[in-house]
Structure 1
Amino acid sequence: MQEAFLHYVWQFKKFDTAKLKTTAGEAIILHNNGQHNLNSGPDFFNAQLEIDGQLWAGNVEIHIKSSDWYVHNHEVDAAYDNVILHVVFEHDTNVFRKNNTIIPTLELKHVIHDNVFRNYQKLLMSPHKWIKCEPDFAEVDDFLISNWLERLYIERLERKSSGIESLLMSSKNDWEGVLFKLLAKNFGLKVNGEAFFSMATSFDFSVVRKIQSQPLQLEALFFGQCGLLDVEVENGYFQSLSNQYQFLKQKFNLSNMKVIPLKFFRLRPPNFPTIRLSQLAMLYYEHANLFTKLMTAETIEDLYRLFQVSTSEFWQSHFTFEKSSHDRKKPLTKNFIDLLLINTVLPLRFSYLQHQGKNASESCLMMARAIASEQNSIIKAFNNLKPVSDSALTSQALIQLKTEYCDKNRCMSCAIGNSLLVK
């Protein structure tokens, strides 16, 4: 039994409200169940009810057992002085106010609707599965799932916005600087994401602004800060980078002492940090005011066009400084651009538009629907239960669903879980 289930039962009146009585036999008439409190303090505020003909207004506290009142030390907490009804699944002891009067108690055990309790037991108390509703997920109404996933996608954008807010504060409200840090992290993917991010935070973005028209200096800055120029390599390109980096290091007082070392191990050559850093440098060389262009793009096609960049010429025939390879261009692939849009551009647009006092939801929903669904273990598992992910909107929403609801057993807060409870 979870208290969250009892909160659900109380909030949505999933019990027989006729002829309710306290454990002392007093009649209860509900007028208002109260407002669900998700923070500290009593579980429901401002409830209104009659007990034995007397009208009461105040708070309601919910526990599995009456004795949990004392387990949680509510008897010494002034926040619970205005509790007018103690709602429990099982009554095992009387609870007293500070003036030694008994707080009326309602026991739900025998009044919860049978189908709701059976479905709850089936959902939450069944043997462990990948998700609790695994046997019934395919039967859930498509319209309900679609609406819930839209809400979850916005919820995921809101969660990412909180991280963007922190970056914005540390970047002195420089949105372009925040974009650079986020792009750098996502150019590094999972393996080098934190290393690229540490590189991007090792200098002020104003340095990028000042050298943006010089592609060799951009590459020198990125490679040098990542420690890739700390070796001896005999080729003209490397020497040019090294000389440029020494100049930039002295001019801007650069240090890379806190930059996380890069990894090449088990990476496919197109994802080598050398290639990704060159592509990132070329992106900023090609697009002055990149942030403004991304924020004002009207269609998903406009966004894709902004990321049509490749490496510099040297990296067309190399993956590392030392060894040459077959000569071919190395542009950002559509799949890679999709990841940048999903993890950087759309969350940043959402946060920025909110700062502008504009409705960010519709624009982001529209663009997310136009991006292909991600393919990972979570998405594949959901699609095996029922084909539900057809875009980045749904794949991001499913990740939010799995990590923030399913993994945390928050079925009572989930639209899918709620629909199964009332079958």
Structure 2
Amino acid sequence: MKEDFLHYLWQHKLFDFGKLTTVNKEKIEVIKTGLKNTNSGPDFFNAQLKVDEQLWIGNIEIHVKSSDWYLHHHEKDENYDAVILHVVWEYDAEVFMKNNKPLPTLELSKFVNKEVFVNYQKLFSKEQRWIPCEQQIAEVDSFLLHNWLERLYFERLGQKSILINELLEQSNNDYEAVLFQLLAKNFGLKVNGDAFLRLAQSLDFSVVRKVRFDKQQLAALLFGQAGFFEETIEDVYFLSLKKEYEYLKYKFQLKPISKSTFQFFRMRPNNFPTIRLAQLIALYYHHQNLFSQVLEVSSLKDFYMLFSVEVNGFWKSHYTFETASKKSPKRLTQSFIDLLVINTIIPLKFAYEKSRGGVDEEKLLHLIKQVKPEKNTMISKFSDINIKSKNAFETQALLELKNNYCAKKRCLQCAIGNSLIKS
């Protein structure tokens, strides 16, 4: 038995209200359970109840055992002087107030519905499970599940906003600069994401603004800042970019990062950092005010068009500066653009709208629901327990559910867990 379950029972009134008595057989009538306290001190403030027709207004303290009062030294803490009821699961010791009278104590285990307790035990069983409710989640009401997934999705956007807000603070609320940094991070995917973000942050975005009208300078700037000119390669295009970068480096007082920051090992050629960087360069060359366009676009089809850019001629026949390869356009795939929409576009739109005082949730949901469901081990395991995803809205919400509720056993704060306990 855990104390947070007792808090849950008290807060949600999951006990027999009509027959409550103290351990000394005094009748209890609960008028208000009080406000849950998330800081130190009694567990619930400003409760109202009658004990043998005497009205009391004060605080509630909850323990697994009544002797925990002394274990936690509450008798020495004046913050507990206004406690009017001690709610415990097991009564094993009398607790006295400062006037030497017994503190009214409710032994909750005698008044809780047995089915509620059994349901709780099922969720918190020591049996090894992927998620606590894996045997019951498929039975949860579909309306409740959808509403909970919607809340989880916006919780996930809130988590993603933390990095966005940090970047905004660092850039004096320059959304165009933050979009560049976020896109760079996501162009790098998991393996090179941090390296790409470091690259984007290694220079002021004002420099990108100044050179992005010139394809040669923009390519020289970003490949140079990434450290790709550290080596000596006898190639005309490479040497021309290297020469251009030396000029830009001197003009803007730049300090490049090291090429060793980027990983090529065990990566598919289309995901090589050189190719992803060439695609990012093509995107910023073709779209001079990308953030304003991102705000205007609301359909996935239009995002596919917006991000439909080709690398320049050199990269169509190369994966690195050193070696030529079979010619291909190396456009951004729809699946890659889906990742950009999921991890960059929608979170930035959310943060931007929130900063302006109101989020158009329906519009964001409409967009994310157009994106195909993600494919990963976690989503496959949900599918195995009959929770199948139709779109990225559902996969993103399920990732939030698993990572921030199931993995932490926060069933009492989860709508699914609540439903199963109360059923």
Place the TM-score, normalised by the shorter chain, in its bin.
over 0.9
Query: What is the rounded CA distance, in whole Å, between the counterparts of 1:39 and 1:162 in structure 2?
Result: 24
Name the CA shift for 1:259/1:9 in 2 (closer, same or farther; >3 Å).
Answer: farther
Query: What is the rounded CA distance, in whole Å, between the counterparts of 1:217 and 1:67 in structure 2?
Result: 74
Q: Is the 8 A contact 1:187 1:276 kept in 2?
A: yes
Which shifted more, 213-222 or 85-94? 85-94
Name the CA shift for 1:260/1:119 in 2 (closer, same or farther; >3 Å).
Answer: farther
Query: What is the rounded CA distance, in whole Å, between the counterparts of 1:127 and 1:359 in structure 2?
Result: 42
Cα shift at 1:43: 2.6
Name the CA shift for 1:368/1:81 in 2 (closer, same or farther; >3 Å).
Answer: farther
Q: Is the 8 A contact 2:15 2:113 kept in 1?
A: yes
Cα shift at 1:358: 2.2
What are the within-5 Å matches in structure 2 for residues 202-213 of structure 1? Answer: 202-213=202-213
Q: Is the 8 A contact 2:63 2:87 kept in 1?
A: yes
Query: What is the rounded CA distance, in whole Å, between the counterparts of 1:259 and 1:231 in structure 2?
Result: 9
Query: What is the rounded CA distance, in whole Å, between the counterparts of 1:14 and 1:160 in structure 2?
Result: 35
SS in structure 2 opposite 1:88? Answer: strand
Cα shift at 1:156: 0.8
What are the within-5 Å matches in structure 2 for residues 72-83 of structure 1? Answer: 72-75=72-75, 77-83=77-83
- Determine the structure 2 residue equivalent to 1:339: 339
Opposite residue 166 of structure 2, the aligned amino acid is S
- Determine the structure 2 residue equivalent to 1:283: 283
- Determine the structure 2 residue equivalent to 1:378: 378
Name the CA shift for 1:324/1:98 in 2 (closer, same or farther; >3 Å).
Answer: farther
- Determine the structure 2 residue equivalent to 1:232: 232
TM-score (norm 2): 0.95
What are the within-5 Å matches in structure 2 for residues 231-380 of structure 1? Answer: 231-257=231-257, 261-380=261-380
Structure 2 residue 118 is the aligned partner of structure 1 residue 146:
no
Aligned residues: 423
What are the within-5 Å matches in structure 2 for residues 177-188 of structure 1? Answer: 177-188=177-188
Cα shift at 1:273: 0.1
Query: What is the rounded CA distance, in whole Å, between the counterparts of 1:262 and 1:148 in structure 2?
Result: 39
What are the within-5 Å matches in structure 2 for residues 88-127 of structure 1? Answer: 88-97=88-97, 102-127=102-127
- Determine the structure 2 residue equivalent to 1:217: 217
The Cα RMSD (Å) is 1.9
Name the CA shift for 1:223/1:12 in 2 (closer, same or farther; >3 Å).
Answer: same
Cα shift at 1:23: 2.5
Name the CA shift for 1:422/1:292 in 2 (closer, same or farther; >3 Å).
Answer: same
- Determine the structure 2 residue equivalent to 1:128: 128
Q: Deviations over 1:262-304 (max 9, x none)?
A: 1001100000000001111111111111111111223232222
Q: Is the 8 A contact 1:32 1:49 kept in 2?
A: yes
% identical equivalent positions? 53
Cα shift at 1:74: 4.3
Structure 2 unaligned spans of 5+: none
- Determine the structure 2 residue equivalent to 1:175: 175
Cα shift at 1:100: 5.6
Name the CA shift for 1:209/1:31 in 2 (closer, same or farther; >3 Å).
Answer: same
Q: Is the 8 A contact 2:86 2:105 kept in 1?
A: yes
Name the CA shift for 1:293/1:381 in 2 (closer, same or farther; >3 Å).
Answer: same
Cα shift at 1:72: 4.3
Which shifted more, 23-32 or 279-288? 23-32
Cα shift at 1:310: 2.3
Name the CA shift for 1:14/1:314 in 2 (closer, same or farther; >3 Å).
Answer: same
SS in structure 2 opposite 1:419? Answer: helix
Which shifted more, 319-328 or 27-36? 27-36
Name the CA shift for 1:260/1:398 in 2 (closer, same or farther; >3 Å).
Answer: farther
- Determine the structure 2 residue equivalent to 1:409: 409
Opposite residue 22 of structure 1, the aligned amino acid is T
Name the CA shift for 1:112/1:221 in 2 (closer, same or farther; >3 Å).
Answer: same
Opposite residue 336 of structure 1, the aligned amino acid is F
Q: Is the 8 A contact 2:42 2:59 kept in 1?
A: yes
Q: Deviations over 1:158-195 (max 9, x none)?
A: 12122221221111111111111111111100100011
Opposite residue 246 of structure 2, the aligned amino acid is Q
Query: What is the rounded CA distance, in whole Å, between the counterparts of 1:320 and 1:258 in structure 2?
Result: 16
Opposite residue 19 of structure 1, the aligned amino acid is K
- Determine the structure 2 residue equivalent to 1:390: 390
Structure 1 unaligned spans of 5+: none
- Determine the structure 2 residue equivalent to 1:161: 161
Q: Is the 8 A contact 1:185 1:197 kept in 2?
A: yes
Name the CA shift for 1:292/1:20 in 2 (closer, same or farther; >3 Å).
Answer: same
Which shifted more, 398-407 or 304-313? 304-313
Q: Is the 8 A contact 2:226 2:258 kept in 1?
A: no
Q: Is the 8 A contact 1:126 1:132 kept in 2?
A: no
Q: Deviations over 1:29-58 (max 9, x none)?
A: 101112233444433232211123221222
Name the CA shift for 1:412/1:223 in 2 (closer, same or farther; >3 Å).
Answer: same
SS in structure 2 opposite 1:216? Answer: helix
SS in structure 1 opposite 2:89? Answer: strand
Q: Deviations over 1:203-233 (max 9, x none)?
A: 1111111111112222222222221111011
- Determine the structure 1 residue equivalent to 2:191: 191
Cα shift at 1:8: 1.8
Q: Is the 8 A contact 2:85 2:105 kept in 1?
A: yes
